[in-house]
C-alpha cells in the first residue's frame, strides 16, 4: 500500500480532526488546527493518506519574525500527528520533509517549532538558531530551521503567535 502526501481537501477535515485527537489523546490539538484554519492563520496543511484514510497530518501557520529591518517570512510547524497504529513507520518524517520543501518553494526562509528535542533536529531544527528570536516559548524545545542557507544569521527579532495557540 502506497502513502500519498498531499495538501488537505475539505473531504479530509473530519479525518484530520480524528488523527490529531487520537495521536495526542485529547481534542486540544484538533481544536487548534480547526481554529487556525477557520481564522485564516493556516499556511499549509498536508496529509498522509492511504486507501482513502488520512493517517497523518501536519500544519504550518504564518509566523513572521519581526526584525528592525522588517518582517522575515517564517512559519510555525504545529501540530504534526500520525494515527497511533501507524507511528514509527516514517510517515511523520515524510510529512515534515515534504512540508519543509513546500514552504521553501513558497518563499519562506525559516520554520519555527516547539517540539521534541530528540525528534526535530534530524530535519535541521536547532534551539541555537532560535535563541535570538523572542517568543512566549523558550528553552531547548523552541527550535528553528533555515529553509535558505544563512537565513537566520545575525537575525534578532520576535514572533507573535496567533491567539489560538494560547486557547
What does pTM read for this prediction? 0.95
Q: Is the pLDDT of residue 138 over 70?
A: yes
The answer to whether 96 and 77 have CB atoms below 8 angstroms apart is yes
Residue with cell 512540508: 99
- Return mean pLDDT, the chain: 96
Q: Using alpha carbons only, what angle is made at residue 92 by residues 80 and 94, rounded to the nearest 5 degrees?
A: 120
Report how many domains make up the chain. 1
Q: Could you tell me the three cell numbers for 27? A: 481534542
pLDDT value, residue 62: 95
The answer to whether 42 and 77 have CB atoms below 8 angstroms apart is no
CATH number at residue 63: 3.40.630.30
Q: In terms of DSSP bridges, do strands 142-146 and 110-114 run parallel, antiparallel, or are they unpaired?
A: antiparallel
Q: Is 48 exposed, middle or buried (0-12, 13-18, 19+ CB in 10 A)?
A: buried
- pLDDT tens for each residue of 89-130: 999 999 999 999 999 999 999 999 999 999 999 999 999 999
Q: What range defines the domain where residue 114 resides?
A: 4-166
CA dist., res. 104 & res. 111, Å (int): 9
Amino acid at each position: 500500500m502506497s502513502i500519498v502526501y498531499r495538501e488537505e481537501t475539505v473531504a479530509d477535515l473530519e479525518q484530520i480532526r480524528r488523527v490529531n485527537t487520537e495521536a495526542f489523546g485529547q481534542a486540544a490539538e484538533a481544536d487548534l488546527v480547526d481554529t487556525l484554519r477557520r481564522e485564516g492563520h493556516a499556511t499549509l496543511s498536508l496529509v498522509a493518506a492511504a486507501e482513502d484514510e488520512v493517517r497523518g497530518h501536519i500544519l504550518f501557520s504564518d509566523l513572521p519574525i519581526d526584525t528592525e529591518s522588517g518582517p522575515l517570512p517564517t512559519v510555525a510547524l504545529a501540530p504534526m500527528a500520525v494515527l497511533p497504529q501507524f507511528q514509527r513507520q516514517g510517515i511523520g518524517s515524510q510529512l515534515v520533509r515534504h512540508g519543509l520543501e513546500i514552504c521553501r518553494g513558497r518563499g519562506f526562509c525559516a520554520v519555527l517549532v516547539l517540539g521534541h528535542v530528540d525528534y526535530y533536529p534530524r530535519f535541521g531544527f536547532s534551539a541555537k538558531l532560535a535563541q535570538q528570536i523572542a517568543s512566549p516559548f523558550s528553552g531547548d524545545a523552541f527550535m528553528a530551521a533555515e529553509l535558505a542557507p544563512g537565513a537566520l544569521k545575525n537575525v534578532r527579532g520576535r514572533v507573535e503567535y496567533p491567539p489560538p495557540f494560547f486557547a
